[in-house]
Amino acid sequence: MKMEDVGALKQHKEGEIWEDKWIPSACTICYGGCSILVHKVNGTVVKIEGNPKSPVGSGRLCAKGISGIMFLYDPHRVNTPLRRTNPVKGIGVDPGWKPISWDEAMDEIVTRLEKVRAEDPRQLVLQVTTTLAPSSLVFFPFGWAFGTPNMWVAGGGVHCGNGAHASSGVTHASWSIVPDFKHCNYAIYFGASKGHGAGHAATPNISLAADARERGMRMVVVDPMCNFAAAKANEWVPIRVGTDAALALAMANCLVNDLKIYDAEYLRDRTNAIYLTRPNGKYARDPASGKPLIWDTQSASVKPHDDPAARNAALEGEYLVDGELCQPGFARMKAQLRKYTPAHAEKITGIAAATIERLAREFGEAARIGSTIVIDGVTLPYRPVSAIFFRGAQGHKNSMYNCFAIDLLNHIVGAADVVGGTLGFNPVCHGHPDTGKPYYTPKVDRDGLMATGAWMLPHVPYPPADPRKPDSIGLIEVFPLSHVSPLMASSDQEHWWKQFKLPYRPKFMLNYGANSVMSVGNKEAVVESLKSYDFIASFDLFLNEFSDFADIILPDASYLEVVDPRPNFPFIFNHPAGQGEWGWPIRQPVVEPTHERRSARDVMLQIAYRLGLGPEINMGVNAYYGLDGEQMLDPDKTYTIEDISDHELKHKFGPERGLEWFKEHGVITWPKRVEEVYWRTFLDVRIPIYHEYLIELGEQTGKICQEADMSYDPAYYGPLPEWLPCHAHEEQDGSFDLFAFYYRDAIQANGFTMENPWIDEMARIDPFSYRIAVNADTGRRKGLKDNDVIYVETATGRRVTGRVKLTEGIHPEGVGIAACAGHWSKHQPIAQGKGVFFNDLLEIDFAHTSPVNLNLDLCAKVKVGRHEAAAT
């Protein structure tokens, strides 16, 4: 409370209502950033509702969003900076926190950072939580200003995005994909929760998906568990964990080879299916320009891909080019797919061959290839089918191929970013009518293929950067299709740093919220890596399992106490896709931070200024926010987050719409145009269905790996997706007979919502939230009774325990665990001991990592049984 409020309080009589306001802002309990209206009476928040004026949620919130009051007022929050008094760090070892002043904390951090920077700035590691992804922007400019490449989002990315974002970036210019709910008639979900309480734009998608169901969209959910998406599906297809590529490739095979259903026009005009490929897999190129060639059927000759003759290009056949027999990418794909027969897929996925054939046929027929529809007076291709995936399908060692294989189904039938098909999340924006900002659109890049118009990170997925010797501790320079790396906290990191001759070691970590001890993998590995730091400073709302390894804790202000000019930008991240409105909301403090809490981003700016990095960070912010002209930050001035927000908003929406305007209005909206939504038809860009660039990329990556004695398997770098098994599929010991996996609980957001007593109460009543789901028959065969305490154990001896929920709604070989629970920190007494810590089953090392995009393998072969210790 501000001083004047306290004064005001004194003057008010008992029972008098002296304040009654609804303040527009944005939720951040998950990264969805739904627009909210906060009801404040006499200084107290009494209700959080959705903001009906904003398309981000349209006035409706999920249960977590409503529960924000209980985060705000949680008496267990950190309220002052804390310093450890016990130098020993370990799980369960009390750091002996002692309150200190902000001055003391800042002095120590700045002094240490100066030293680190003087030695080698790369020793600084910035770790942020995905939960705050849209708000973590100051952290990245800070990293650039400081000169470190070491930034990551803890479990984020390596669990959820390295495959999906890279793949969707390459083919949909977007962070993620979703069915065009308004027009789609047939959607297949491969381990994704779009419209069922998780994923991007989690809550806005709920009503879009409900509309689609009501309209009659058929939804087929391929998932080991009949949880949220499958509960609402027309058909649940239980799949063996991690085998999605085998299914998708078999469906693709049925479509192109058996049923001969494919959109030749789309493939010819919008993809590289026509690019001629040589026997070595690479493009046949024009010797003069280096451009990939196509075969012009009219002139029976090769032409560069961008020649108008591409309209007559061959999709099939073999052509002699420079003495080599070359084939269009499509022909190669067709041939390669032949080995993925439904019978082959049945063995791998456990799904009957006949079912696979039927799904392929239904998908192909529902695509209505060749049909068009008129939208807003424009005739557009109409392909009302969609195949989507997210965390479930991509969280495996063969992450990249899983994603490409599933997305291929969309491209085969031409259902990509057209009416009714699979949409990226808003890859095109022409800006507000008054200012034309923000403006971005995909463009033609290397070899005529598409590069994204907007991206969350500086390095885009296509064209991938050239692999080079690593600069960062995560080795992401070697694997340019990754954006974060589990090697930031792996058990074998030191080994690889030595092998790659990394000239420095991480020493100082600044953490913004992430609870990496729990969110990455087994705790031992993460803890070992954390222990090697000289110093860790962490901004958080609570003390958690990670805090036990920090040296200084900084009490952050929560999302209801801070300002953020862009909780939903870039729109490719979590703004609802499809037709409708654009909405740019802001986040603003609904109450002033109490105690010693301070906005982490302001603190970061102050640290930067004290380090003398003012010009660098201001320019970094300019680059990140795209600020130019009058709204560009002056390198020589100092700013607060409020100032920067004002610049950013004026830059996008004109000088009259600065922070003050937005604080009053909360959100600005304007209609989406058909060229923005169904942009594919309007833009002359191609996307790869034949990922030729992977060959070259793999060769380069392989060379660097070999120098460091890192195993390199070219099988992962083929231009066409393949089915490759995870470690779990290769487990030899037959007593480990089940596959453990986790899934998002609609009522939890990653790892910290269990501390919210309203959510915890809900989760305790829910049959699944805190329990281990095991197939009822499987459980009975193993002598388990519902609610028994069971163990789940891997071949490497990793083990978790929890209560079992015997259910009919899970694959007989599956062990499903919700969320990221099982907290042990005593500082979160409500969360403590609730639910199951799935990640303790996961290995974190290069062997369990996708060698293309560094996604961690998130499935584990396990056995389960009654936990005898608990039986008494």
Partner 1 sequence: MRLGMVIDLKRCMGCYGCQMSCKAEHGTPPGVFFSRLLKREEGRYPTVRQILLPVLCNHCSDAPCVEVCPTGASHYAEHGVVDIDPELCVGCRSCMMACPYSNRYFNVDQRNYFGDAGPTPYEEMRSARHTESTVMKCNFCKDRRAEGKDPACVANCAAKARFFGDLEDPTSIVSQLIKDRSGFVLHPESGANPNVYYLAP
Partner 2 sequence: MNRYDQLITDLGSDYRPQREWGEGRGLLLVIGHFLVGVAGGTWLLSSIYGITAGLVVAYLLGGLGGITHLMFLGHPEVAFKMMRNVRTSWVSRGFVGLSLFLLGGGVYLALMLASLGGPWRAIELLAQIVAMLGALTVIGYMGFCYTASKAIPYWHSPLHPALYIAYAVRGGVAALLVISAATGTTANASLLQLWIAMSVLITLFFVFETQGAWTSGNIAARWSVRDVLSGRLAISFYGGTLAMGLIVPVLLLVSSAEHPPVIMALIGIASAAGDFFMKLTTVKAGVYLPLVLPSRR
Our CA angle for 366, 370, 376, nearest 5°, is: 95
Q: Considering the rule CB under 6 A, would residue 217 count as an interface residue with ligand SF4?
A: no
d(CA 756, CA 748): 10
Q: Say whether residue 130 binds Mo ion (CB under 5 A).
A: yes
Q: Out of partner 1, ligand MGD, ligand SF4, none, which partner does residue 548 contact, by CB within 5 to 8 A per kind?
A: none
The string of DSSP codes covering 682-741 is TS--BB-SS-THHHHHHHHHHHHHHHTT----GGGG-SS------GGGG---TT--EEEE
Comparing CB distances to ligand MGD, the nearer of 150 and 441 is 150
Using DSSP's 3-state secondary structure scheme, residue 391 falls into helix
Asked if 582 contacts 572 with a C-beta cutoff of 8 angstroms, the reply is no
Number of residues that bind ligand SF4 (CB under 6 A): 13
Amino acid at 275: Y
CB of 65 to ligand SF4, least distance (A): 2
Binding mask 581-620 for ligand MGD (x = CB under 6 A): -------------------x--------------------
Please say which residue, 799 or 803, places its beta carbon nearer to partner 2: 803
Q: Which positions from 333 through 362 interact with Mo ion, judged by CB under 5 A?
A: none
Binding piece for ligand SF4, criterion CB under 6 A, among 56-64, 224-232, 528-536, 680-688: 56-64
Element (H, E) at 22: strand 20-26
Q: Which residues pair with 677 in a beta bridge?
A: none
Q: 752, 758, 768, 791: which one contacts ligand MGD (CB under 6 A)?
A: 752
Query: Residues 24, 25, 32, 239: which binds ligand SF4 (CB under 6 A)?
Result: 32
CA 734 from chain centre, in angstroms, equals 34
Determine the interface stretch with Mo ion among 122-130, 396-404, 624-632, 778-786 (rule: CB under 5 A): 122-130
DSSP secondary structure letters along 201-239: THHHHHHHHHHHHHHT-EEEEE-SB-SHHHHT-SEEE--
Among 142, 190, 330, 425, binds ligand MGD (CB under 6 A): 190
Looking at 29-37, 623-631, 851-859, 863-871, which segment touches ligand SF4 (CB under 6 A)? 29-37
List the single partner that 746 binds among partner 2, partner 1, ligand SF4, none, CB under 5 to 8 Å by kind: partner 1
C-alpha of 563 from chain center: 23
> Residues 215 to 254: which contact ligand MGD by CB under 6 A?
222-225, 227, 229, 239, 241-242, 244
Stretch that binds Mo ion, among 22-30, 53-61, 99-107, 160-168 (CB under 5 A): 160-168
Q: Rg of the Cα trace of the chain?
A: 27
User: Which C-beta is closer to ligand MGD: that of 600 or that of 613?
Assistant: 600
Cβ distance to ligand SF4 smaller for residue 740 or 749:
749
Residue (of 527, 512, 736) closest to 607 by Cα position: 512
* Alpha helices for 232-376 (secondary structure H): 244-253, 264-270, 329-337, 342-349, 353-366
Question: Which residue, among 491, 499, 856, has the nearest Cα to 705 in the 3D structure?
Answer: 499
For Mo ion, the closer of residues 393 and 619 by Cβ is: 393
Q: How far apart are CA 838 and CA 859, in angstroms?
A: 10
Residue 170 near residue 687, CB atoms below 8 Å: yes
Q: Residue 539 phi/psi, 5° resolution?
A: -90, 125
Alpha carbon 740 to chain centroid, angstroms: 21
The residue number whose beta carbon is nearest to Mo ion equals 160
Q: How far apart are CA 571 and CA 75, in angstroms?
A: 35
Residue 156 touching Mo ion (CB under 5 A)? yes
Q: Counting Cβ atoms within 10 Å, is residue 276 exposed (0-12), middle (13-18) or buried (19+)?
A: buried
Q: For residue 130, state whether it binds ligand MGD (rule: CB under 6 A).
A: yes
Backbone phi and psi for residue 588, each to the nearest 5 degrees, phi listed first: -140, 160
Minimum distance from CB of 482 to partner 1 (Å)? 33
| Nearest residue (beta carbon) to ligand SF4 | 65
- Figure out which of the listed residues 160, 250, 326, 428 binds Mo ion, where binding follows CB under 5 A: 160
Closest by Cα among 422, 418, 462 to 443:
462
Determine the Cα–Cα distance for residues 523 and 517; give it in Å rounded to an integer: 5
Grouping H, G, I as helix, E, B as strand and the rest as coil, residue 80 is: coil
Q: Which of Mo ion, ligand MGD, ligand SF4, none does residue 241 bind (CB under 5 to 8 Å by kind)?
A: ligand MGD
Considering CB distances under 5 to 8 angstroms, the limit depending on partner class, which of partner 1, ligand MGD, ligand SF4, none binds residue 60? partner 1
Q: Which residues bind partner 1 (CB under 8 A)?
A: 41-50, 57, 59-64, 66-67, 69-70, 73-76, 195-197, 203, 206-207, 209-211, 213-214, 226-228, 230-232, 236, 238, 746-747, 757-758, 761-762, 765-768, 775-777, 807-810, 812, 830
Q: Does 857 bind ligand MGD (CB under 6 A)?
A: no
The answer to whether 203 contacts ligand SF4 (rule: CB under 6 A) is: yes
Work out what residue 228 binds among partner 2, Mo ion, partner 1, none; the CB cut-off runs from 5 to 8 Å by kind.
partner 1
Kindly state the helix (H) or strand (E) to which residue 866 belongs, with its residue range: strand 860-866
Identify the three-state secondary structure at position 576: coil
Shortest reach from residue 785's CB to partner 2, in Å = 14
8 Å CB contact between 58 and 50: yes
261 with 367: CB under 8 angstroms?
yes
**424, interface contact from Mo ion, ligand SF4, ligand MGD, none, CB < 5-8 Å by kind:** none
Which chain residues interact with partner 2 by CB under 8 A? 761, 764-767
Residue ranges in 739-778 that form contacts with ligand SF4 under rule CB under 6 A:
749
Closest to ligand MGD by CB, 613 vs 859, is 859
Q: Which of 24, 95, 143, 513 binds ligand MGD (CB under 6 A)?
A: 513
CA 705 – CA 711 distance, rounded (Å):
7
Residue 662 contact, options ligand MGD, ligand SF4, partner 2, none, Cβ 5-8 Å cut-off depending on partner type: none
d(CA 193, CA 202): 8
User: Are 65 and 36 in contact, with CB atoms under 8 Å apart?
Assistant: yes
Q: How far is the CB of 764 from partner 2 (least distance, A)?
A: 5
Stretch near ligand SF4 under the rule CB under 6 A, chosen from 28-36, 232-240, 588-596, 617-625: 28-36
Nearer Cβ to ligand MGD (274/348): 348
Letter string b/e over residues 306-333, b meaning 16 or more CB atoms within 10 A of that residue's CB: bbebbebbbbeeebebeeeebbbbbbbb
Residue 134 touching ligand MGD (CB under 6 A): no
Residue placing its CB nearer to partner 2 in the complex, 199 or 809? 809
Nearer to ligand MGD, 274 or 518 (CB): 518
Q: Are 581 and 55 in contact (CB under 8 A)?
A: yes
**What is the contact surface with ligand MGD in residues (CB under 6 A)?**
30-31, 129-132, 154-156, 159-160, 190-193, 197-199, 202, 222-225, 227, 229, 239, 241-242, 244, 390-393, 512-516, 518-519, 539-542, 544, 556, 558-559, 600, 741-744, 746, 748-752, 819-820, 838-839
Which residues would be at the binding site for Mo ion (CB under 5 A)? 130, 156, 160
Residues that bind ligand SF4 (CB under 6 A): 27, 29-30, 32-34, 61-62, 64-65, 202-203, 749
